[in-house]
Amino acid sequence: MPAPDTRRETVLELRVNNHPGVMSHVVGLFARRRYNVEAILCLPVDDGAQSDIWLLVNESDRLSQIISQVEKLADVRTVVRHAEDSCLFADLRQQMYGGGELKESA
């Protein structure tokens, strides 16, 4: 019997300047550091000049270092770490898939 999944998940909330390529810059940093992103949600804010990006990642010893590097990206305005707060993604998963099937939007 496999061991229960004991990974803790963390949500990172980023406010970024919204332009083509900004998402690539952010997730590229994670890819270069060989750090997996489990889920991504990105939505424009106000007039669309900025966006909020939510990243669901697994907690690890390296996460603080990666957050420091994300904060140094030119287009990143703020980074907020929501420890063990993956309910946003759990709620979305439930709304989208419900009983295992993708629900169609109206």
Q: What is the pLDDT of residue 2?
A: 45
Q: What is the pLDDT of residue 51?
A: 96
Query: Is residue 103, in this structure, part of any structural domain at all?
Result: no
Q: 29 or 105: which carries more pLDDT confidence?
A: 29
Q: Count of domains in the chain? A: 1
Query: Is residue 102, in this structure, part of any structural domain at all?
Result: no
Quote the CA–CA distance of 99 and 105 in Å, as a whole number.
15
Of 32, 28, 31, 22, give the one whose Cα is nearest residue 52: 22
CATH number at residue 13: 3.30.70.260
pLDDT value at 1 more than 50: no
Q: What is the pLDDT of residue 104?
A: 59
Give the range of the structural domain holding residue 66, as residue numbers without chain letter: 9-97
Residues 57-105: pLDDT tens digits? Answer: 998 999 999 999 999 999 999 999 987 655 777 777 777 777 555 555 5
Query: Is residue 2, in this structure, part of any structural domain at all?
Result: no
Query: Is residue 106, in this structure, part of any structural domain at all?
Result: no
